[in-house]
Structure 1
Amino acid sequence: MKAMRRLAWLWVVLLAGAGLAGANSIDKILTYKSVGGVEASPDGRWVAFTAAAADLDENAMNSDVWVIELQTGRSYQLTRGAKRDNDPKWSPDGRRLAFLSDRGGKVNLWLISPDGGEAEAATKFEKMSVASYEWLPDGSGFVFTAADPATPEEEKRKKDKNDPILVDKEFKFARLYQFKLGDKEPAKLTKEDYHVASFDVSPDGKWVAFSAQPTPKVPDFTRSDVKVLELSTGTVRSVVARAGQDTAPRFSPDGQWLAFVSSFGRNDWTGNSNLWVVKPDGSGLRNLSELFDESVGGFGGGGHRWSVDGQWIYFTAGQGVSDRLFRIQVASGRSEAVTDHDRMKVCHDYDFGPKGSVLLALSDPHTPAEVYRLDANAGLRKLTSVNASFENTAPTTELLRYRSPDGFDLEGLVVKPRNYEKGKRYPLLVIVHGGPAGVFNYAFTPRRGAYPVHAFAEQGYVIFLPNPRGSGNYGEKFRQANFKDWGYGDYRDIMQGVDELIQQGVADPERMGEMGWSYGGYMTSWIVTQTDRFKAVSMGAGLSNLISMYGVTDIPEFSEAYFGGPPWQDMQG
């Protein structure tokens, strides 16, 4: 956090030659709260959500739980402190709210009343941290995941400072546990050595569906399978076992189906992930979203929910610069956008509210993130004001559309100072996103990673945020268009956007800078070998040598997905 702040200040000092003041100072930007974790109570009275902001004293992101009382419209902060309180979930009777917190050291489950008061620890684990959890349907306790705690031998080695890291050895597997309120210790449910990535408890409380991968290593997400566990016996059986990613299973309301995200047997990192359904006995396997040309739930999938009647499955997905809420009909596979209200916005999270309403965390470039209620008749209504201090402070963001000579429709965001004067040329900063399957979307984002975009605009810069070929949110073909082509087509896409802004009279060709993080850093190092048009550049966490990266990274499979194999197989690729 402090490193990002220093980098942001460095850019402003080097390029602007002055410190910051006003509505978009760096200190102000770091107080912006990202909103998520939207969770409606079963009785429809309350909505819980989380708001997270930077804590410079702790050098960390701090999050707190907030609550909305729907009948009165009152919203208020429920938890406070310097630690992270997140992932709120209502008890089945709606009387208590559970959440995860690292107050006290390890991450444990805590309980609090929506009316306020002191939170109480539901679990008091001293050697392991809860990673994810679900209430048991009868409210008697939880099913949760936690990584293996350190063994006595490992603790002794650490105490003796004899603690080398053994690569690909001594994995800490995430396992399933069951914990009953009032107990001191949980019951371990999965004892085999595989890593539980996600899970769901059946509506009748008899089964747990989960996805498991061979190890916690990042590349093994492409080798995950779906299993079910019977809580009464501990018996585990396979439901979907095949190559590729099969993850995030969720039971239908009647418990007869599982919806999950799958890469359809592919081990690559670049293709679409689809929404599938299957019965818990493994029959009826079907791809619902085969005709939907984008990854369901984004990279890694998840976040899908069954409708109350089990006829639809809701999910979020990128669509150009927007991230929207969609639903797909289980019987037909027909998909549709739920509302036009998010057409040029970003849906950060959602849940179902009372009387058929939908609760949404939304933002757009000029409107900070808040929680809204969408009703069929009443339309969209804002419920919170946690980012009120950011209202009417944003610079102007416009969408630039242009077409590449080889036929790709391209987009990028152009951020202009609030006092922008048409006809005047401005110094231009180009920021390249990471990924390369990242995307610059229409979220309210004062800080894009390490870069304080709103602060740059306040200092009189125009900022160009291109989505060149290889970016996400534009379908599988576009996402794979930079295969064996990093630095060629994507570079031309970026520079064509720059030329468009110069031709429009927006950018001053004599005053341009460029920066990027990760893959954006790679493009920065590439750009300086191709042109001298930029007066200054900054490479952040960049990949300056793809061959050495393959040898030292923990995700060499990522490089193989983009370049067709290890570098020694095709040194020119």
Structure 2
Amino acid sequence: MEQTLTVREILNIKEPAYMIPMSISADNKWLAFCLGGKAAGRESEGVSMAVEGTTQWVCNMETGHAFPVAQSGNSSWAGVWSPDGRTLAFFADIDGKACLWLWDSKENGLKKASALIVCPFFGFEKPIWSKDGKDIIVKSLPPEGLSADFYPVTDEDILLSPDHKPKVFHSMSDRKAGSNIDDDTWVNRYRAEISKINIETGTSTLLCSGLRPVAMELSKDGRSLAFTSCTGEERMDSQQNNFDLWICSLDSGDPPRCVAGGIRMNYGLTFGWAANHSIYYTTSGHLADGGLWHVDTYTGKVELLYKNEKNHLGHDYEPPKPFNDGKVVLIANDKLWCFSHDTGGLEEITIKGERIVVAGFPVTDDDQILLQTHNPHGIQDGFCRVDLRTGEETILIEEQAGHLPWYESGSASGENTIAYFHQDADKPPALKVFDLLTHTEKTIELNQINSTLLGTSQLIRWKTGDRELKGALLLPKNIKKPVPVVIRVYAGSMQSESIRLFGLSQTKCDNHQLFASRGYAVFLPDLPRSWSHEPADEITKAIENAVEALVKHPDIDPDRIAIIGHSFGGYSALVAITRLQLFKAAIISAGVANIISNYTQFDSWDPDTTSNYGMIEGGIFNMGATLWDDQDRYIRNSPIFDFHKIETPVLIVQGTRDHICHAEAGPMFSALKRLNKPAQLVLYDEDHHQSSWRHENIEDYYQRVFDWLEKFL
């Protein structure tokens, strides 16, 4: 029997944790980075589902020695170096509760900074050091406790309240006038106090309470803290999040104050302090104007500086970067922009060749900025330095490899150093350290894997109208005749961008080398959408065009094609198998077959978290109307009404704790069973995506997938 990659081997791969930025010490000696993983169970107070199982690591960039700093914790994350570069502050649940911990790089010593329970939700919500290094600002446990996103839900919680009394729900909000806190809303996952911890005494000072803070940033002089507080979705029919911008003093004792309200952002990250105590921010989301705004924190004046439909400046993660001379640097639409506060003009700073701008590092005082770039045609990633006064560009690194941006835990910049994760379709992530002074590079290997089992990648290109599209194809080694292929679909996603990621995936739970080592090709096509309010038609056309291009490849067997999709990808795959008779097997994971039932889904344990109105009407499904406005549209875009046309055997996989669509899998299976179609339903006591699943369940899932493909493909 030929050797294949095991699921356990892939799950043991060390890869960067999602959206937990790296940090380089001030002396350019130490790198802090976080690796993804899976904890034994969500048992620690203050640990959210977004960071569960992560591990905080440090690396001596001179010696290349890398190691975890909190081995006894289930979860540790968000390490940030002190101003003097000696001490790492990070969050960990070493004692069963999430707290702030300190690691001393000179003494290799670890200590708890405070017994205060911290509760950041996202990985990018990091500890913030004061300028003098004596205090650290954190999000801490509110008196009313945390939302279900921090705790496991028990069977008892689903039916009864903790005191076993009946639960009562109201369709109309009971929120009192003037209150911005609603007891039953998904945004309460962000509810927290903001506290300042003195690292010498361990005592804490309350800075703010009663809000839902997300992103925080210290002013240039270190005396004030700005933060965004999430107020929820703007409308019931959209997924547009709104935030208020607040500031509080660290030393005056003045109460926090809101300086700008109703800001449209997706994550509340895109704001930045200028040296004159003003704040710049951009808006993002499908209802946002994409403009550049300015707040004078002294006068309270809020003004729109720039808005242009052709140059939408919205970005989910990249904040404006103000300079001392009145310039503001922005990264948007894959380009680098410079706004002059004095003239009110916006200018594009041209990058050489066909490269696009992915991300930018914090600017230096001499009008220079470091950029991450990507060349989609040459499939090269790299770094360059741009002088904003002259526009002169210096290419530092350019290589055929996959780099993740800083906000996806992929890179960091120090005074003289760039550190980044380097990977390719057949190369697991490794750390690289680049010296900006000598232009020399060092590689720090974190993984070992049998490369003889790994497939290789290439691009397939095709045209739809005047638009060129691409697909990432992973082929197994030593092909002697055309091979079966698994096509992964997710409508609206440009999946070809993953061609330089290990296994064509950012997460190891979806690593496609598992398929390649078993003789299957894997195809990830670009599947653009026109947002016409008819998603099924758009999906059908996009997948049909992609398959037509795929089967022209000489190494692909056109008679042995399987399709797989997760979440909206599961919906995409269901649309495909009801409308296209091209597939010999299908795997539907956390999919939606009935838009009507998913639209009206209700769960007593968290009714607002599971309200899918925005997702269906104006979000990713983009129906553009309520069910009662256009019932026919909901029916014709719900694959379940066409299940009688399915000729493909369907494996249905579902996590029962999935708050988005757990109720869809059962009716899907029942319908196929009544129609006498070959199908199998597998339920796991897990959440929405496999990245949060227990390893034994991921192994079971893949074994069933491979058995299904072996049987029907």
How far the C-alpha of 1:166 sits from its partner, in A, is: 6.3
Matches within 5 A, 1:99-498: 99-115=90-106, 117-125=108-116, 129-131=119-121, 132=125, 133-150=127-144, 160=163, 169=183, 172=188, 173-183=191-201, 186-191=204-209, 193-215=210-232, 222-231=241-250, 232-245=252-265, 247-249=268-270, 251-252=272-273, 254=275, 256-263=277-284, 268=287, 280-281=297-298, 282=301, 285-286=304-305, 296=315, 305-309=361-365, 311=367, 341=398, 345-348=402-405, 349-355=410-416, 357-376=417-436, 378-379=438-439, 381-389=441-449, 394-404=454-464, 406-421=465-480, 424-433=481-490, 441=498, 442-445=500-503, 450-470=509-529, 481-498=530-547
Judging changes above 3 Å, is the alpha-carbon distance between structure 1 residues 48 and 135 closer, same or farther for their aligned structure 2 residues?
Answer: same
How far the C-alpha of 1:431 sits from its partner, in A, is: 0.8
How far the C-alpha of 1:118 sits from its partner, in A, is: 4.6
**What code does the residue aligned with 1:352 have?**
S
SS in 1 for 2:78: strand
Q: Please say if residues 34 and 77 of structure 2, whose CA atoms lie closer than 8 Å, have aligned partners that are also in contact.
A: yes
Identify which of 488, 502, 505 aligns with 2:551.
502
SS in 2 for 1:363: strand
Q: Please say if residues 372 and 381 of structure 1, whose CA atoms lie closer than 8 Å, have aligned partners that are also in contact.
A: yes
CA RMSD of aligned residues (A): 4.2
Judging changes above 3 Å, is the alpha-carbon distance between structure 1 residues 105 and 74 closer, same or farther for their aligned structure 2 residues?
Answer: closer
**What code does the residue aligned with 2:422 have?**
L
Query: Does the alignment pair 1:565 with 2:549?
Result: no
Structure 2, unpaired ranges of 5+: 44-48, 152-156, 171-181, 321-330, 332-358, 602-609, 634-713
**1 CA distance for matches of 2:400 and 2:393?**
12
Partner of residue 29, structure 2:
45
Q: Please say if residues 325 and 347 of structure 1, whose CA atoms lie closer than 8 Å, have aligned partners that are also in contact.
A: no
The normalised TM-score by structure 1 is 0.79
Judging changes above 3 Å, is the alpha-carbon distance between structure 1 residues 425 and 523 closer, same or farther for their aligned structure 2 residues?
Answer: same
Q: Please say if residues 412 and 420 of structure 2, whose CA atoms lie closer than 8 Å, have aligned partners that are also in contact.
A: yes
Partner of residue 516, structure 1:
565
How far the C-alpha of 1:160 sits from its partner, in A, is: 4.1
User: CA offsets, 1:442-500, max 9 Å, x none?
Assistant: 32147667544111111111111112104xxxxxxxxxx23413122333222222222
Q: Please say if residues 119 and 192 of structure 2, whose CA atoms lie closer than 8 Å, have aligned partners that are also in contact.
A: no
Structure 1, unpaired ranges of 5+: 1-17, 471-480
Q: Please say if residues 361 and 370 of structure 2, whose CA atoms lie closer than 8 Å, have aligned partners that are also in contact.
A: yes
**What code does the residue aligned with 1:196 have?**
P
Q: Please say if residues 174 and 197 of structure 1, whose CA atoms lie closer than 8 Å, have aligned partners that are also in contact.
A: no
* Aligned residues between the structures: 532
Judging changes above 3 Å, is the alpha-carbon distance between structure 1 residues 531 and 276 closer, same or farther for their aligned structure 2 residues?
Answer: same
SS in 2 for 1:104: coil
**1 CA distance for matches of 2:82 and 2:75?**
20
**2 CA distance for matches of 1:164 and 1:118?**
49
**2 CA distance for matches of 1:310 and 1:174?**
38
SS in 2 for 1:203: coil
SS in 1 for 2:131: coil
The normalised TM-score by structure 2 is 0.65
**2 CA distance for matches of 1:372 and 1:456?**
28
**1 CA distance for matches of 2:510 and 2:88?**
36
**What code does the residue aligned with 2:283 have?**
S
Q: Please say if residues 283 and 313 of structure 2, whose CA atoms lie closer than 8 Å, have aligned partners that are also in contact.
A: no
User: CA offsets, 1:192-243, max 9 Å, x none?
Assistant: x431121111232211111122259997762113232222233434444345
**2 CA distance for matches of 1:69 and 1:118?**
15
Q: Please say if residues 296 and 317 of structure 1, whose CA atoms lie closer than 8 Å, have aligned partners that are also in contact.
A: no
How far the C-alpha of 1:520 sits from its partner, in A, is: 0.7
Q: Please say if residues 490 and 572 of structure 2, whose CA atoms lie closer than 8 Å, have aligned partners that are also in contact.
A: no
Partner of residue 67, structure 2:
76
**1 CA distance for matches of 2:394 and 2:534?**
33
